[in-house]
Amino acid sequence: MPTKNFWTEQKDDVQSRMGDAVRTAADSIDETRSSAAEGLDSAASALHDNAGRLPGGPRVAEFAHTAAERLSTTADYVRRHDARGMWTDVERIVKENPGPSLLAAAVCGFLIGRAVMRD
């Protein structure tokens, strides 16, 4: 019969592997933050530049400018925060808003499931 030491070793091994995976993911996110922020800024700029040409009149143009401002704000956030900082913010938001967070997670899971099932 396995001893407690065996299970403790297994738990420690799993924790170590999970820690390594989290560090690898955080490093990967940190490496792509700059290009992600540039992409967001580029999309914001394109929205600002083309807002007046969108069908729907001034209301749609105003919506496009608002969306572009939010993309710029997101780009600034991505530049200023590393993966740990972003994760801390996500945890805080989830703790402050558990119902909407659970709903958002369910919707994301559903959409990911649908996308995977199509392929």
The pTM score is 0.65
Q: What confidence tens digit (pLDDT) does each residue in 62-118 have?
A: 999 999 999 999 999 999 999 889 989 999 999 999 999 999 999 999 999 988 887
Per-residue burial over 47-66, b if 16 or more Cβ lie within 10 Å, else e, is bbeebeeeeeeeeebeebee
Q: What is the pLDDT of residues 46-68, one digit of tens each?
A: 999 999 899 989 999 999 999 99
